[in-house]
Amino acid sequence: MMNREKGRGKLQYMGGLGYQDSVIVTMKGLETRLVKILTIFTSIDLSSNHFVGELPMDVGSLKSLKGLNFSHNNLTGYIPPSPGNLTDLEWLDLSSNKFIGRIPRELVDLTSLAFLNLSENRLIGPIPQGPQFNTFKNDSFAENPGLCGFPLPKTCKNSSRETPSETILQENDTKHGGWFEWRTILMGYGCGTVVGITLGYVLIDSKKLEWLARSFDRKGAKMRRKSRRNARRSYQR
């Protein structure tokens, strides 16, 4: 994936002659100013926006991601298991949202994960245990009254695994409802809030990106039509 000059082994940076990219990105909970941006930099920072809805299952198809930050939004629903497919992921920040349900056990398999923040949500149940998860401290899971187990001081009264019906419900919910206004994200070039996409943070095939946008756009249009029909019915009454 590294984009180097032939024969020189020199790393390539974004920006052409007379133009230099510079951006502030939140990585592992810390704001960092990137004066130069490597073309191999593969992180998404969509924090501190007003995004609503659910986290799409399709996030798990961004195989090259090193970092993913959706913190400080208004995302709801379950955390989908698909981020467990991001085997190169080093940091994940979903804090300060309204996620519910249990922490997906698939995240335990992310052996490269060095930073995790799921605090200030509405998660419940025992915290999954594993080599990486056992290294995270209390603040990774704080402000989730329903969570229990190590490293939190709250012990679990019933540490049994979730029932099959609960698992099926969670998977179905993420498959059918997992989206928010990605069209707005992809069109947010000028405002600078979508640094991951506007500055090429994610090395995604352009055709895949177009497919992703069309998919979410169709879902959004369907939901908006349904909302307008319900509004007309309420008005007629």
**pLDDT digits over 16-61, tens only?**
444 456 556 555 555 556 555 554 457 888 888 899 999 988 899 8
Residue 165, SS3 per DSSP:
helix
In a domain? residue 11: no
In a domain? residue 156: yes
In a domain? residue 234: no
Q: Among 47, 58, 48, 67, which residue's Cα sits nearest to residue 177?
A: 58
Residues 103 and 133: beta-carbon distance below 8 Å: no
Instruction: Identify the pLDDT of residue 191.
Output: 39
Structure tokens at 221: 């249009």
Kindly report the CATH number assigned to the domain that includes residue 123: 3.80.10.10
Length of the chain: 237
Q: pLDDT category, 169, cuts 50, 70, 90?
A: very low
Residues 6+ apart with CB under 8 A from 117: 29, 71, 92, 93, 94, 95, 139, 140
* Model confidence pLDDT, tens digit, residues 77-132: 999 999 999 999 999 999 999 999 999 999 999 999 999 999 999 999 999 999 88
- For the chain, what is the domain count? 1
Please state, in angstroms and rounded to a whole number, the distance separating the CA atoms of residues 107 and 128.
9
Range of the domain at 190: 23-206
